[in-house]
């Protein structure tokens, strides 16, 4: 059965190993923690449990098992993740159990076969001889480099590719069109890249997902210099970094990613020895690309040949990277038009430009300043219009203040003038945002829930049997926690030994998420100090008892008012006696040691 094989793969897979190969995990007691790979953060809130074989981010709420991690992080479909993990675990899958290949796998296979065709045409077929000569002589590419990047050539005549894909490989013309490679023309398929040198585009795992075609100098057709794959189910321009499938381990080793604009900028840089490099399309580094690249390097150096300061889309990517904790620098290429020319013309000069790259905020400020005259009122107005939005995007207020001071000095104006402009931009950006709802942390329902959660977290991470003691069970009111304790009671009646992993497997799915949150919470400092842990548990129980007593006193007060109105003296006396007993009980609790340790009351 397919389900049995999925379970077998999970049994032989360690989620910590899979996630640890992709992001840096640090031990946190029985769990592991890291900065979340799914949203920008500087303080770790992403937790992985080897016991439960799950992950959860307490910042963005992403959670799941090893399959859902690979689906989210790598963009895999479930079938892809299953095959990948099965191969690693040495589990042989019965493919018939999993149905036909997915559309994604089918489109990748079309690209794989098309890539073989283009590559053959460039390296082996006489039709590609002139194009190969152009790449080697005019562009300075070595044959080994051409082979490593799997460059190709598409002949002007579309029939060879059409025949290869439809007749020899039996692909449907509609699927070829859906892949973004060809356009059906009767029984044939017109190759959208015809007559061009081909740069295959891969995802970071090495799957071919698209192509970029560059026209050759002798081609006199009235057409664009470059043609790229359109958006398809497997190719999304904003998410792809050219060359990452090859350069990823080198970027990871160096912990620095050099970002250039085009395919030839990357290939020439790589061939010249600058191998920790990736390429984007244009000067705008997108949010998706930032998230992908930040998995492999904490520092980016942008070697782009266009002015980013005037491009809002480009600035957006830079600020996302910088505010996510990535160190972003910009290299200005001197003496050459772009990195391609620099790598072929003077590699030492190019390396020196990279070494002397400047911080992104310094670069953007200098770039704007260089385009206008800061000595005139008109120039100051234009600089203010461009720089104020840039400075407002700096989340770190200390860093923002530093650059506000620099701008004030360069413009020759008081610092207050710059900060006032920044506050105006800040106020405008706040308008339209939904108002924040204050977190309840005073006596009452919210506080009671927080204390109950704390009680269960500490107990499940130390001694869960503690929760079944009568005096403790009576403190729990939250319906979810009551259900979890009910399941715990049933579990311990049938099992001699308790483990979080076994108990987690026994839970209904609707209770597992709440339980996993308790297991993944960070409390190692307390768990390592039994005396402190006991003290904390005692305090939580005491606070819960105090809150419960206060809540009952409030209810009794309301009841006494009702009885007084009704004139029921006997009933009133009974409730008053009960109230007095509870009041004495509350007074007997030592409240002096309670305040401030868990949730202090103001």
Domain presence at residue 305: yes
Does 381 fall in a domain?
Answer: yes
Domain-ending residue, one of 207, 235, 263:
235
* Domain limit, last residue, from 364, 386, 406: 364
Q: Whole-model pTM?
A: 0.67
* CATH number, residue 191: 3.90.980.10
pLDDT (tens digit per residue) in 322-370: 777 788 999 989 889 899 999 999 999 999 999 999 988 898 888 888 8
Q: Tens digit of pLDDT for each residue in 480-522?
A: 888 888 888 888 888 878 888 888 888 887 888 888 878 887 6
**27 and 133 fall within a common domain:** no
DSSP-derived secondary structure letter, 328:
E
Residues 187 and 247 in one domain: no
pLDDT at 78: 87
Element (H, E) at 378: helix 377-392
Q: Is residue 118 part of a domain?
A: yes
Helix, strand or coil, per DSSP, at residue 214: strand
Residue 599 in any domain: the answer is no
CATH of the domain at 19: 3.90.580.10
262 in the same domain as 221:
no
Is the pLDDT at 22 greater than 60? The verdict is yes
Residues 90 and 190 in one domain: no
**Quick check: helix, strand or coil at residue 494?**
helix
Pair 215, 247 in one domain: no
- Looking at the structure, do residues 254 and 219 belong to the same domain, yes or no? no
Instruction: Say yes or no: 453 and 570 in one domain.
Output: yes
Ranges 138-142, 209-213, 477-481: which has the least confidence = 477-481
**Domain-embedded: residue 601:** no
In angstroms, the Cα distances linking 39 to 123, 378, 598 are 43, 40, 29
Q: Is residue 600 part of a domain?
A: no
List, in sequence order, the alpha helices (H) in 92-223: 103-123, 129-133, 143-148, 159-162, 173-178
Instruction: Give the separation between CA 177 and CA 198, rounded to whole angstroms.
Output: 18
Q: What is the C-alpha separation between 493 and 484, in angstroms, rounded? A: 14
Domain residue limits at 334: 241-364
| 109 and 94, same domain (yes or no) | no
Give the CATH number, domain containing residue 334: 3.40.1360.10
pLDDT of residue 436: 34
Same-domain pairing of 91 and 159: no
Domain boundary among 342, 364, 386: 364
Overall domain count for the chain:
5
Q: Do 224 and 289 belong to one domain? A: no
Considering the domain architecture, whether residues 452 and 589 belong to the same structural domain is answered as yes
Q: Are 387 and 407 in contact (CB under 8 A)?
A: yes
Own/partner long-range contacts of 434-437 (Cβ < 8 Å, ≥24 apart): none
Residue 351, in any domain of the structure = yes
Q: Are residues 460 and 378 in the same domain?
A: no
């Amino acid at each position: 059965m397919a389900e049995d094989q999925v379970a077998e793969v999970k049994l032989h897979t360690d989620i910590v190993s899979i996630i640890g190969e992709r992001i840096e995990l640090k031990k946190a007691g029985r769990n592991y923690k890291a900065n979340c790979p799914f949203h920008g953060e500087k303080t770790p809130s992403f937790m992985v449990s080897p016991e439960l074989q799950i992950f959860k981010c307490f910042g963005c709420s992403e959670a799941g098992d090893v399959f859902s991690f690979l689906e989210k992080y790598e963009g895999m479909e479930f079938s892809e993740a299953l095959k990948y993990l099965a191969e690693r675990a040495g589990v042989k899958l019965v493919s018939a159990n999993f149905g036909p290949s997915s559309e994604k796998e089918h489109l990748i296979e079309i690209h794989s076969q098309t890539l073989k065709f283009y590559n053959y045409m460039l390296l082996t077929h006489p039709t590609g001889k002139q194009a190969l000569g152009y790449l080697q002589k005019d562009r300075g590419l070595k044959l080994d480099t051409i082979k490593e990047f799997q460059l190709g050539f598409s002949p002007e005549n579309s029939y060879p590719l059409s025949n290869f894909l439809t007749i020899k490989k039996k692909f449907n013309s509609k699927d070829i069109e859906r892949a973004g490679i060809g356009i059906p023309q009767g029984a044939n398929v017109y190759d959208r890249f015809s007559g061009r040198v081909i740069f295959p585009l891969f995802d970071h795992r090495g799957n071919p997902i698209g192509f970029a075609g560059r026209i050759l100098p002798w081609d006199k057709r009235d057409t664009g210099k470059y043609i790229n794959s359109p958006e398809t189910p497997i190719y999304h321009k904003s998410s792809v970094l050219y060359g990452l499938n090859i350069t990823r381990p080198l970027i990871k080793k160096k912990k620095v990613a050099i970002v250039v604009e085009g395919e030839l900028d990357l290939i020439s840089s790589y061939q010249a020895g600058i191998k920790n490099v990736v390429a984007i399309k244009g000067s705008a580094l997108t949010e998706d690309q930032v998230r992908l690249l930040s998995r492999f390097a904490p520092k980016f150096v942008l070697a782009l040949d266009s002015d980013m300061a005037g491009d809002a889309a480009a600035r957006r990517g830079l600020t996302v990277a910088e505010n996510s904790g990535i160190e972003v620098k910009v290299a200005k290429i001197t003496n050459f038009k772009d990195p391609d020319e620099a790598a072929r013309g003077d590699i030492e000069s190019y390396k020196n430009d990279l070494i002397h790259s400047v911080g992104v905020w310094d670069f953007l400020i200098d770039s704007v300043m260089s385009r206008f005259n800061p000595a005139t009122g008109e120039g100051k107005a234009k600089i203010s219009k461009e720089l104020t939005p840039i400075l407002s995007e700096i989340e770190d207020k200390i860093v923002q203040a530093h650059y506000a001071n620099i701008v004030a000095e360069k413009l020759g104006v008081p610092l207050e003038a710059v900060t006032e402009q920044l506050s105006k931009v800040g106020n405008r950006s706040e308008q339209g945002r939904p108002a924040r709802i204050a977190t309840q942390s005073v006596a009452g329902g919210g506080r009671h829930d927080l204390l109950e959660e704390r009680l269960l977290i500490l107990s499940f991470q130390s001694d869960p049997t503690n929760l079944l003691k009568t005096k403790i069970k009576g403190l729990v009111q939250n319906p979810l926690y009551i259900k979890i304790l009910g399941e715990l009671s049933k579990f311990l009646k049938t099992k001699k030994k308790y483990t979080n992993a076994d108990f987690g497997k026994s839970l209904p799915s609707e209770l597992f998420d709440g339980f996993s949150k308790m297991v993944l919470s960070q409390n190692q400092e307390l768990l390592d100090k039994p005396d402190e842990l006991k003290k904390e548990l005692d305090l939580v129980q005491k606070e819960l008892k105090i809150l419960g007593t206060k809540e009952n006193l409030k209810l009794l007060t309301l009841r006494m008012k009702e009885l007084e109105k009704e004139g029921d003296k006997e009933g009133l006396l009974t409730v008053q006696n009960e109230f007095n007993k509870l009041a004495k009980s509350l007074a007997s609790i030592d409240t002096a040691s309670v305040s401030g340790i868990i949730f202090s009351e103001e």
